[in-house]
Structure 1
């Protein structure tokens, strides 16, 4: 069913144009399913029943579409193998189907500064099409140029709770200084203003009507009713308008310490039209002297509905739905700022500085600065933060489709930093103006994409984007597709990628017989051994049309050969340098051995003096096999070194140090050797190690010399120091010290406990101010009894 569907697709594609083949074939659900299931096969290429399954099984797999490529009885699955193996088996290069990942740059404007910072091209390329073969990475190079004078929009978001009263006075005069400071860095600057307090519900603000009208402590102060967020001034280049609007503002008040700053940040990021953000560098300056409410705090005021992530500013610029929605979470604020490409600068006082420093770690491309008590340093703080943010280039990507993975390598001024973890970003810090940095982005797919996916890259804080159109290569673009092909027994099947797909009722590799002929015993006899006996196809295949169709790695007329039973080298069949055929490795040129393990090269046998194996051995499998008495990688070590240690030890000792048994007649007894002192460490285990009588040892190396004498290179002796006594004393001393420490610690804890209990006893004694007889709690109840008869006797009736 799949094969017939593919044939129809290819015929339609031939009628409409070859360019449509990719889209139509990749839309088949069967191919996507193959891509998800066959990826479990790891290691080298394995046989596959079709070209599509073949290329999805492993990146090294290729498919030979040559007609009659497989031998008699050999399964068509054997068309799937590595490119080298197929070429070795005789498949012409033009008949190989090997989809290769590729890149096509569709737009690549050169990096430029532009004029006065505007119209600059800072990110290149701008649009790329990438085709990925499954599990085969493609590397994309992205360059970024930091342009001078890039335009800036700055929105000043201020806490107007009562504690910020003195800061407001300073901010009222801020417009000219702020514009002048930023214009030294860029010529195009706009500033805006917004303010916040908190949600106007208990327990965040007082809901007493008089307090809602005037929340400040004294009636004489200028004070405005509390509010959540108020957008006061859209972004403008008019400093006087900024000072004028800010001058109309007055402080307000709330009850609890945390403020509703997250509501304000979220609305400033979402309401881009109202704020007036341009597609330039966007800065949001957040000033406060206290912490912030976050998601979940709204439940204290009976607010349970999460923030919906939409703009809710009314005609007056007020956040109208503040009492309806809970405070946003840190993640929601970070996502909104990132989506709007806004870089926040938190200018906060020293008491809350640690809190905002931790917050900044969760928000990409953000900065924190220490604000003075009256905001007098805010202009310099903003300028420093902007310089720091603009000199940090962070490349990030949009969400990835399922089955696509990404990693970054950042090249920043010659150095390279790698971020391999999932979801990582590329980043370079301290990037100067006019400096270009490079990011190498590696993309890899493990599943077929049902349709092309647009993946976007951007440098945080900058407006430009790189759009990457991702495709996956999950099909074979075979040009031999034919319906009712003559090759398939005169039209009894459809030809695709060199394989016949038989019509209903037809069977065989070339559709040469019908199902009605299968019952003929003559056909089965061709699939058995001599005299028609034995298992059909040796039990390793199927009998079709009187011929064996072998399964797996079997081959031969009766599937008697196992093409996976050859010897292995380092766990790889035929060492990866040959083809296994009927249990025997057929090696590539310049390879020998039962598992093709031997290389015909001799570069590994050449010594530094030249010649193979230093003339003391012969080269086999690119490794030296030394003659008796010689050793080393190239047989360059002297003969008998290990056995001559004892014979030369006395000469080495007397010649170098004048000691040992031959010290008296060293020159005569050791005339056949030359002794030299060596400087430096022992290089290998060819050195002889000799112990002397005074518990010392030295090393010497025996070398040959052309004059017939033996050269002994001797290192100075080293005395062995016995550390046994020091070790024992150290252990005993340590045990004693630990014991004394434990005793002192126990005694100190008991003393502290006793003193604490005694002080508590004295304190309780001092609190006994009343004596028991004066304490009304200890007085007994008074009972009064009245005798009515006594009263009658005292007052008789008249």
Structure 2
């Protein structure tokens, strides 16, 4: 062949590679599989499959094929479609079919693992029964009930491909019950102890009505025997109060037994003790009562009830430092042969999380029987502990039997599934519960169960990613009903690797025998894994002295750009090595470093709305499960748009988008609102329409008061309440305040219940104006006017009398001061004149 022929061959080869690269690049925009370089990466991507077949190019392109294979080695990296165009090995599963429009790959070389489920133990649900013992001694043995099915399953699960498991639960009749009564025996509980000793036999009798297989035990606690919890004065250590026993931490007085009289005797004989501070050492007692399985006598297949009775709060982790106790609680059993807690002064109190963990681990239902003033504290505590509840204990514990029965009914009337799955394993629960004809909804809890009720759960298990540590790719997951010592064990194996990548399996060749890789790398699943210093598809390039000018064509998608490796990598031996990122969770990948897992849309600052909703692949969010949208923030479901019992979405007043209702606006400008568009605060309501029925049913008045037939034909029956308060169970409830013919104001509210039926609640008392006595008011006014007139007259008379008397007194006073007689006028002169002889001296 001449030089011209060789040149033509080179141009033809380069053009073919360009076509191949262009096809590959176009696929990557919509194909999440195209950027995957290894079989493991490929099968860890949902809907992707890998072809490991070694196929050379079509015969039409095999002119001087040996030279072509030597230069480009395309038969190692790609296989060919019917038209001879090389295709990436990782592609969508639905593209691998043996027809003219699909990719060609021999089934034996196609790596497309699927989920595999195998039921290892699948015993039918049965109730427990007592049968004669095989020893022939006349005794009976109990065959345990089976309440959950299946019991053990092996699951091989592919990444991001969920697997559903059907699980059944039925509450068995006569299921064994172990009840351990843990009592605070500080001085304040003395009257409670006396009451409990009398009620012991009654408690056993009432519980045996619920289950004949019942056992009862008793333990007590006070507090740590160190300051400042108890007085350490020697005499107080012997008897802290009159008739009191020496203080102690916890004492297992009576292990679980069927003899109720023993329980009553132990409670009666137990003596109270005393401590200094208000909180008690109840957490120490709970921990020992839970973990000391053999000492307490807990049976492996029984419902375990631990009743915790107190009138005080509790010490928890860290409080021990006040008494110089710094060693954390180890969560182990420390009871001696007499049932006494030996590490009370050595270990600190347990924490809430430790108690919660041990209660969950040992499947104990914890019931807090506490006084009213402590109820809020223990309600908060119960919400932090799986399977715990709280009830109000009377001041002398007289209601303890009813309290335990009620709490036991609550526990047994519901089933809640929990699991210990961690890391990348995501488990979701669905069930119809007891509504066989209703829609399946996402829930792990069903209520309202009775003996024999059978509930089906659909458990959706999905592995979101492969753990980096291979030892974590096999897990044992325990799915169990809360408080029941039965479970479904799932032996999970994550399908993270292809067998052809492991030595000793077909499709793997070590470097020493891998001619396809020029003996410079291992052949794995049809591609070469080169040694450190070698590069290239067939490990043909030595990175230490590579001629980069000749290799740059393999680092560009086509000749229309001079940018190598998309500007995000180095071109080494015709192969792109993408730049690393400072964040180890972020990667750049792809044949030309064109893809990454960090440049997708974000929601609430989370890439693709978070790992549970989507993952970023080549700049595009691949949504998981029911999530959709550019950023996987939209839930492709209508469950939250339909009210229970309602066939229409959003009450027919809106549209459902992303599992949320977008409510319409009416032509008159009214707008619906609420979760289901069930409210319209500006729309005319049903108050006027319902008033007549409400009045006749509750107040015996209104338009229907004399029409009994019309009153009986009302489509609802009003529910009377003392005080009309908001109803949390009905989101669309509206309040009506109306006036009746008596001028009284009455209130009622209407809405829908869980079955979407009209529900009307009426306040049974009306607010009426007071009755006005007109005649009384008139008479009162007249009487007041007359009285006021008489008062004015009397006042005038008094004032005038006082004035007259004052004037008269003044006159009398002036008269007494006069120097003449009242009958002689000093201005009057007699008519006769009298002369006096001055010489006459009055002598004769």
Deviation digits for residues 368-408 of structure 1 (CA, Å, limit 9, x no counterpart): 122122212111211111111111212111252x3323322
CA distance 1:81–1:389, change in 2 (3 Å) = same
Which of 436, 447, 450 is matched with 2:470 structurally? 450
**1:794 alignment partner in structure 2:** none
| Residues 527 and 536, structure 1, Cα contact 8 Å, conserved in 2 | no
Cα deviation for residue 201 of structure 1 reads 1.7
Number of the residue aligned with 1:310: 332
Which of 138, 142, 158 is 2:183 aligned to? 158
2:231 — aligned with what? Answer: 206
Q: What corresponds to 2:172 in structure 1?
A: 147
> Could you tell me how far 1:66 is from its partner in structure 2?
2.8
- In structure 1, the residue corresponding to 2:432 is in which secondary structure? strand
Shift of 1:229: 0.8
Check the 8 A contact 2:128/2:174 in 1, yes or no: no
Task: Show the counterpart of 1:246.
Answer: 267
Q: Residues 149 and 186 of structure 1 are in contact (CA less than 8 Å); yes or no, is this contact kept in structure 2? A: yes
**Partner SS, residue 179 of structure 2:** strand
Partner of residue 285, structure 2: 264
- Counterpart check, 1:430 vs 2:458: no
For residues 341-361 of structure 1, give each alpha carbon's deviation from its aligned partner in whole angstroms, at most 9, with x where no partner exists. Answer: 111111112121222112111
1:168 aligns with 2:193: yes
Instruction: Report the equivalent of 1:91.
Output: 104
Q: 2:245 aligns with which of 224, 235, 243?
A: 224
Equivalent of 2:427, from 406, 414, 436?
406
For 2:293 and 2:551, locate their aligned partners in 1 and report how far apart those are by CA, in whole Å: 82
Structure 1 partner of 2:213: 188
Contact 1:69 1:91 in 2 (8 A): no
Question: Does structure 1 conserve the Cα–Cα contact (< 8 Å) formed by 2:118 and 2:155?
Answer: yes
Which structure 2 residues correspond to residues 581-620 of structure 1 after superposition, within 5 A?
none
CA contact (8 A) 2:118 2:154 kept: yes
After TM superposition, give the deviation of residue 491 of structure 1 in Å. 9.3
Q: Does 1:60 align with 2:74?
A: no
Comparing 373-382 with 74-83, which one deviates more in the overlay?
74-83
Q: Which has the larger displacement, 178-187 or 325-334?
A: 325-334
Match of 2:391 in 1: 369
Q: Which residue of 1 aligns with 2:33?
A: 45
Question: Structure 1 pair 476/489, CA: closer, same or farther in 2 (3 Å)?
Answer: closer
Change (3 A) 1:399 1:208: farther
Provide the C-alpha distance between the structure 2 equivalents of 1:138 and 1:525, rounded to a whole number of angstroms. 46
CA displacement at 1:269 relative to structure 2: 0.9
Counterpart of 2:497?
Answer: 475
- Look up the match of 2:526: 498
Q: Give the TM-score normalised by the residue count of structure 2.
A: 0.53
| Partner secondary structure for residue 338 of structure 1 | helix
Q: How does 1:642-791 map to 2 (within 5 A)?
A: none
User: Residue by residue, what CA displacement relative to the aligned partner does 1:510-536 show, whole Å, maximum 9, x if unpaired?
Assistant: 78x8989x9999x979999xxxxx999
Is the contact between residue 219 and residue 252 of structure 2 (CA under 8 Å) also seen in structure 1? yes
2:257 to 236, 242, 248: 236
Residues 502 and 210 of structure 1, relative CA distance in 2, 3 Å threshold: closer
Q: What CA distance in whole angstroms lies between the structure 1 residues aligned with 2:325 and 2:521?
A: 70
Residue 346 (structure 2) pairs with residue 324 (structure 1):
yes
Alpha carbons of 1:155 and 1:70: their partners in 2 closer, same or farther (altered >3 Å)? farther
| Aligned residue number for residue 344 of structure 1 | 366
What's 1:718 paired with? none
Match of 2:730 in 1: none
Equivalent residue number for residue 422 of structure 1: none
Separation in 1, partners of 2:201, 2:321: 42
Partner of 1:766: none
1:718-773 residue CA offsets vs partner (Å, 9 max, x unmatched): xxxxxxxxxxxxxxxxxxxxxxxxxxxxxxxxxxxxxxxxxxxxxxxxxxxxxxxx
CA 351–536 in structure 1, closer or farther in 2 if over 3 Å, else same: closer
Alignment match of 2:89 (pick from 63, 79, 104): 79
| TM-aligned CA distance change 1:89 to 1:371, over 3 Å | same
Cα distance change, pair 177–525 in 1 and its aligned pair in 2 (3 A): closer
Other-structure match for 2:125: 111
Following superposition, the deviation at residue 102 of structure 1 comes to 2.3
How many residues were matched structurally? Answer: 499
User: Quick one: structure 1 residues 496 and 238, their matched pair in 2 at CA, closer, same or farther if it must change by over 3 Å?
Assistant: same
- TM-score scaled by length of structure 1: 0.56
8 A contact 2:535–2:575 mirrored in 1: no
3-state secondary structure, aligned to 1:173: helix
Instruction: Give the unaligned 5+ runs of structure 1.
Output: 1-40, 420-424, 529-533, 542-547, 553-560, 566-570, 572-679, 683-798
Q: 1:444 to 1:514 in 2, by over 3 A?
A: closer
Greater RCO, CA 8 A, separation 6+: 1
Inter-partner Cα distance in structure 1 for 2:201 and 2:526? 77
Change (3 A) 1:294 1:499: closer
Contact preservation (8 Å) 1:505, 1:515: yes
Measured in 2, the distance between the counterparts of 1:486 and 1:168 equals: 83
Q: Deviations over 1:540-572 (max 9, x none)?
A: 89xxxxxx98889xxxxxxxx99x99xxxxx9x
Q: For 1:201 and 1:234, how far apart are their aligned partners in 2?
A: 27
Instruction: Tell me: CA distance 1:63–1:327, structure 2 relative to 1, closer, same or farther (3 Å).
Output: same
Maintained 8 Å contact 1:47/1:79: no
Gapped runs of 5+ residues in structure 2? 1-28, 62-71, 79-86, 131-141, 501-505, 566-572, 578-590, 596-600, 602-665, 669-844
Q: Compared with structure 1, are the counterparts of its residues 93 and 158 closer, same or farther at alpha carbon in structure 2 (3 Å cutoff)?
A: same
1:276 pairs with one of 278, 288, 297: 297
Distance 1:474 1:136 in 2: 12
SS at match of 2:129: coil
Shift of 1:506: 10
Q: What is the CA–CA distance in structure 1 between the aligned matches of 2:276 and 2:520, rounded to whole Å?
A: 88
